[in-house]
Structure 1
Amino acid sequence: MDGICNRLLNVKGMVVEDACIVDSPLRPVSVLEVRVRPRRGMLRCSRCGRRRHGYDRGGGVRRWRHQDFGCWRVGLVAALPRVDRPRCGVTVASVPWAEPGSRSTRDFEAECAWLMTVANRKTVGGFLHIAWRTAGDVARR
């Protein structure tokens, strides 16, 4: 299952720990949450990209919006450690599926940017389930 999830979600270099459907009163629909973690020895500084040993376990869980699977919205969830590099300082380890500081995966950002070039506002918002302004912010990344 780990290999299939890695390929479907494009999270190479990570271990898929769990996948579950989460219902929340704060969200209008259920979300398929996929919990992932970095493989050992794969930690990299999110500023310079160099391999580093872990500094600590980080400041909690981070979430990224991913492309939908059919009618399911998908979110990646990871508790990322931090790394320490003399030049960069203590930073969150990078992830292969998202840019540093982004709340969306690269795949979602690419889909959003493409859709904005071929569709109108209503279609973009309806297909991605986000506001046009949010789509513009995502596409600019």
Structure 2
Amino acid sequence: MPNDPIYPRNRRFIAAMPVIAGVCLLIGVATLAVSSVKAAVIWCLMAGLWWANYMLSRKTPFAVVSEEALLLFPSPVLPRKVLPWKQIVRLRLLAGYRCQIYMRNGRRVDVRLFWLDAARRGPFVQTIEAAIARNVAHGADPEA
């Protein structure tokens, strides 16, 4: 297991969230001055949602590695995905910072690596590949 089992979210995208919230708020205020109240409320609501997403994303990691399982947090508000190491049989890397993790029970978990901090993408993939290699070394059938 790696020394730091926590894989943080993409810091650049998190840093952009307050800027997006500010722009939405400015558009909402400008819309209120020029146009309808309904459109202004929608823009201000979008600003609030971006700000809430920012606050939650700062505190929620992308993934946590434990001895028993890989915990994925696809979104700060969605429930986490628990992938036991012994159940992971294959990792497939796709274009555009995406990968698929295949489980022994036939389930496929799609992971968007864009949400992972850029410096940690390589070690994250290597950790999963090492777990698969351990499963194969211990006699688990990777095609099961």
- Structure with the larger helix share: 2
Larger Rg: 2
For normalisation by structure 2, the TM-score amounts to: 0.26
Of structures 1 and 2, the one with the larger relative CO (CA 8 A, separation 6+) is 2
- Structure with the larger strand share: 1
